[in-house]
Every structure is written in structure tokens, then in C-alpha cells.
Structure 1
Amino acid sequence: MGFDPNEPEQRQRLRAALKAADLKPGELWLNYFSIGGSVGEYEVEAYLQGLLSLPPLQRDLLAMAANELIEAVPRLFAPYSDDANLAQPDQESNTADDRDTQDSAGADEYTDPPENE
């Protein structure tokens, strides 16, 4: 194929990054297209499978799109023993709105009227 020497390594690392971030090719393509990428979704999938070569600019736009998506995913961090959030239980779960919802939960239930005897 018409690969330049860096293309296979760039593709392999892109695939690894997508897998690690649990991103699908369709998500990548949509972001890639929104930032100016010019190849279609099928071509991106073929590139990721090693079936199609892409010019360096398009590969770099794919990398940029992937990195933007990866950065948007919140990361989990292990807490330290002195983290303030560690000692406080979730205070948001019992707000006034939640209590109102709980109080009116049965209000919409339908019951059959008593039968006339």
C-alpha cells in the first residue's frame, strides 16, 4: 500500500488510544469531520483497519479529534487520606427536591373505585 513510514505506527497508536478511552470509530469520525476532516466515515474505518492510506494532514486531524474526545472524558483519581471529599457523604442525595419527589411518588397511582353492591 502507499503508506509512509510513520503511518502504521500512527494508526496503531490511534487505535490503542480509542480502545483505552472506549471511543467508537463513529464518534471519532463525527468529531474529525466537525474540525475540518474531509474523508468519510467508511474511509476512517478502513484506515483504522489498515485497509486505506490517508494523507498526513487527515491523519493528524484524526489524532486531534481523538485527543479532544479523550480530554473530554473525566478521569478518576484515587483519593489521598486528607482529601476533604473523602470524609463527607454525598449530601446532594436528600435535597428538598428529592423529598418532594418522594412524597408525591404515589400521588399519580390509579386505584379502581369500590364496586357498588
Structure 2
Amino acid sequence: MDSVDQQALTGAVILQHGLDAGRLWLDHLVLGGDASEQEIRDYCAGLAGLPARERDALAQAVNEHCADAGVPARAPLSSSPLVQAHSDSRGPYPST
């Protein structure tokens, strides 16, 4: 998955569930990340990117919060494939 897609999908999960960027930063540190709190806040706001290692630590922190809350949404890892909703190359709408 490319970094822009991962950032957008992770940000959507964070917004959807009202997760706190400060808390995610602390959890991301526990999971091996070393980005600053401001870097995490900027990433969550879509203002800056992060290296794959940092994105994945943050995604794992987000996913742990979602699992604890019992919600199905998950943030993707950098190694996650981006799956299209429709595999038909003609698009999502049938021909008329």
C-alpha cells in the first residue's frame, strides 16, 4: 500500500472513532515507534508523512484501540494490499 493511501485510511479510522492523537502517540512509542508527538499529530491531520515503520506502529496502536472498543474498523499496515471494492474492470455500475 502506498503511503498516501495508508495515511488517508488510518486518518479516517482515527476520525471515525474519535481517537486521541496524544494517546495514540504514547501507544505508538510502546510499539516501537520513535516519531515525536507533533509528527504524529501532523500525520493524523494529513499535514505530513511518516516513514513506513512509524506508520505501521501508529496503525497498530489504532487497531488496538479499535479492538478494545469492539469496533470492526482497522487501519492498514504498509504491507497491506489495497483491495478494490469491485474486481470487474468495467466499473461498479452495470451496462445498460
Residues 1:34 and 2:7 are matched in the alignment: no
Indicate the SS of the match to 2:61.
helix
Residues 1:70 and 2:50 are matched in the alignment: no
Any unmatched runs of 5+ in structure 2? 72-96
Letter of the aligned partner of 1:52 in structure 2?
Answer: A
Runs of 4+ residues over 6 Å off in structure 1: none
Any unmatched runs of 5+ in structure 1? 76-117
Instruction: Please tell me whether the aligned partners of residues 21 and 41 of structure 2 are also in contact (alpha carbons under 8 angstroms).
Output: yes
Report how far residue 34 of structure 1 moved.
Answer: 1.3
Residues 1:56 and 2:52 are matched in the alignment: yes
- TM-score, length basis structure 2: 0.65
Indicate the SS of the match to 1:37.
coil
Q: With CA pairs under 8 Å and 6+ residues apart, which has the higher RCO, 1 or 2? A: 2
Distance in 2 (CA, whole Å) between partners of 1:28 and 1:65 is: 6
Identity of aligned residues (%): 32
Report how far residue 32 of structure 1 moved.
Answer: 0.6
| Structure 1 residues 51-89: Cα deviation after superposition (integer angstroms, max 9, x where no partner) | 3221111111111111011101145xxxxxxxxxxxxxx
Q: How many residues align?
A: 71
Letter of the aligned partner of 1:50 in structure 2?
Answer: G
Alignment root-mean-square deviation, CA: 1.6
Distance in 1 (CA, whole Å) between partners of 2:16 and 2:52 is: 23
Distance in 1 (CA, whole Å) between partners of 2:4 and 2:69 is: 26
Which of 7, 13, 21 aligns to 1:11? It is: 7
* Bigger radius of gyration: 1
Distance in 2 (CA, whole Å) between partners of 1:50 and 1:19 is: 12
Instruction: Please tell me whether the aligned partners of residues 10 and 59 of structure 2 are also in contact (alpha carbons under 8 angstroms).
Output: yes
Distance in 2 (CA, whole Å) between partners of 1:13 and 1:6 is: 11
